[in-house]
Structure formats: structure tokens, C-alpha cells
Amino acid sequence: MNNIKSYIWVAGCLLVLMLGGCDANTVVDNNLAMPSRNWSYANKVKAVLEITDPSKRYQVDFKLRHTADYKYSNIFVLLHLKTAGKKKETRRFEFKLAEPDGKWTGSGSGNLYTYTFSMLKNYQFPAAGHYELEVEQNMRNNPLKEISDAGIKVSKLGE
């Protein structure tokens, strides 16, 4: 009987974790692990989405994890937005990762620090269609050392 109660308890915990981790408004949530914690220009984080209703608004976030050995207090990235038949649009962003005293501003877990930065807030795609988003690092160093992974998250707003 104890085994059955244990199985039910574990199954209940798994169900709560699965449902709690789901976000119905998330359209895309991609992460790219960097080989040997080195983010080169060639390793672009990509997300592909299909916009069916251009009246909807979206939030596009950049996700980053780095080790405590990352040697800068900021990071520059490029966001490339491509759609069929249109010229690629590129925007440059700078994100602050540490306070002036060197304290990391991200949430820490062991030697890793995690961030989510807003890139496009309340964004409306110009038309229905197929869109590709790419994020690439835009620092002077190539590869950029001590970056564990980077990602793109796109969420619908107002639902």
C-alpha cells in the first residue's frame, strides 16, 4: 500500500511541475548551448515563428547564462529579424550584467548566472507570415568566453 501512495505522490508532483512549467502564451523558447562555453559569431541563436494575426502584440526576450569567470560587466548583441520578401532588420542591444562593484545582477546557481532581457516590448509584427529571429554576440572577442548558453523567447501579450 505504501508503494501505491508513493507512486501517486510522485505522479502528482510531476503533474504539478509539468503544468506549472507551461506557459500558454509562449510561442517560441529556444536555447543554444555554447560549445566549451565559447560563443562565436557563427553560433547564432535562432527562432522561427509563423504570425497569423498581425494585430497581436508580442514580447521578444533574450536569455543568457554565463559563468562567474566571464570578464565583462555587459554584453552587446545583435537581433536580426527576417521575413520573406523584406530586407533583414538588425538592432543592436547592450545589456548590463554586473553592478559597478562587480556583483552579478543575474540569478545565480553555483557558478552560473542567468538573465532574461527584453528586446522587443509590446511588439507588433508588420504582417502575417514566416519570421526568423537571430541573436548573435557583438563583442570584440570572438569567441566570447564563459558564455554557457543563450536563447530567444517570444510570448504573446494580452491573452
Specify if 57 maps to a domain: yes
| pLDDT value at residue 23 | 67
Specify if 49 maps to a domain: yes
Instruction: Write out the three cell numbers for 70.
Output: 566571464
Residue 109 pLDDT greater than 50, yes or no? yes
Alpha-carbon distance of 57 to 121, in angstroms, equals 9
Specify if 133 maps to a domain: yes
User: How many structural domains is the chain composed of?
Assistant: 1
Specify if 13 maps to a domain: no
pTM to 2 decimal places: 0.81
Return the ∠ at Cα 114 (arms to 49 and 27), rounded to 5°.
15
Specify if 2 maps to a domain: no
3-state secondary structure of 154: strand
54-99 pLDDT, tens digit per residue, is 899 999 999 999 999 999 999 999 999 998 778 899 999 999 999 9
Q: Which domain holds residue 126?
A: 25-156
| pLDDT value at residue 80 | 97
Specify if 124 maps to a domain: yes
Specify if 11 maps to a domain: no
Instruction: Write out the three cell numbers for 77.
Output: 548583441
Residue 6 pLDDT greater than 50, yes or no? no
Name the band, by pLDDT with cuts 50, 70 and 90, for residue 2.
Answer: low
CATH number of the domain enclosing 114 = 2.60.120
Residue 19 pLDDT greater than 50, yes or no? no
Residue 15 pLDDT greater than 60, yes or no? no
To the nearest whole percent, how much of the chain has pLDDT over 90?
A: 73
Name every residue whose Cβ is closer than 8 Å to that of residue 51 and which is 6 or more positions away in sequence: 125, 127, 128, 129, 131
Q: For residues 59 and 122, is the Cβ–Cβ distance under 8 A?
A: yes
Specify if 55 maps to a domain: yes
